[in-house]
Structure 1
Amino acid sequence: MGMLFSALLPEHEAFIKKQRIFFVGSAPLSEEGHINISPKGYDVLRIFSPTEVGYLDLTGSGNETSAHLKENGRITLMFVSFEGPPMILRLYGRGRVILPDSSEWNQLIHHFDLLPGARQIMYVNVQEVKTSCGYSVPVFSYSGERETLRRWASQKGEKGLQSYHQEKNSMSMDGIVTPLGLSKSEIS
């Protein structure tokens, strides 16, 4: 049976720290807009307090979450136990995008291992924490991280990533301009 909490409890934090993947959900305000669900790997999530989390967002082919956070701030993070006792944990909150070269970036980046392709930090104020059983989720075994993104980003280099961000990450699929699209530091 699911339970609702106003903040992360120590056992929630311990559960989150064991997970090797989490999922991010966001959506535009428009009812015709696309709901986005994105998997996140690597060790990119940090818990700052029982009501504050953030993750280092790495370059991808889209930037939907960033656009949705800029437009309306709504975000859900979901953690699923694929090993050990079953559980699903969701963090419902309001988020914002923190770009490199900002004072907030400089205050937070030391919490993360800076990975090739890092493009922004997604900062979330957690409003509700919900647990549910996860009884029907299959058991999977972790066998390692993919190195594809790290190699790709390293080969692109900083200028190549900036160009890629402008080409592929400056607007959502629904036409919402992302913070990277507005950022003067990203314009070559």
Structure 2
Amino acid sequence: AEVTLCQFSWAKQYNQDMFAALKADLGVDVENVVYYRDEVHYVVMTPKKASLIDAGVLETKELDSVNSDALQLYVRKVLAFLQIPAPDDDRLDAQLFDFSQTRRAEKAAVVLHRHAKSKLLVALVGDALLEPFWPQGLGINRGFLSALDTAFAVARLDKADDQTLLADHDKHYKACTGLRLRANIRSFNVDPASRYET
């Protein structure tokens, strides 16, 4: 039966009846649910804080007041509702993560050369550059793109003045965060022009 389970990514606005039933039947109010099936069942959902408090998952309004037993029960109810198998024992690895605040770097890179014989590019890539909302699957995408952007900047370090290099790198950072990508991913290379729409 597990082999026939389909993976899904559902958002409340696109599947209002199911999310309304989830709330009416279980008191569970979530914005989205994502399900991937492989060797294990992987489910990500974005519950509303009030729903967690009402279910006793959060004992106070503070995010560090998690009742682990209530969280396990909350997740098991959702899995049963969605007909996703859950382990019978304590192997259910349910955790809460706070996505209410994400961070992003003000600058993608700087060039240092005060105390050195040559210039040094210091750049952030991946999650250090932009903390992703990982249920969307953007972290690894932006990780690869920002690593390629940085490799391109390193290759140009001695060919462009600092201001131009950093302005271009910042432009590529903005394109990366917006994921304005060209359609033909097979043509992607280290040059950002091969990857980003302009």
TM-score of the superposed pair, with normalisation by structure 1: 0.30
TM-score of the superposed pair, with normalisation by structure 2: 0.29
More helix by share: 2
More strand by share: 1
Q: Which is greater in Rg?
A: 2
Q: Which has the higher contact order (CA 8 A, sep 6+)?
A: 1
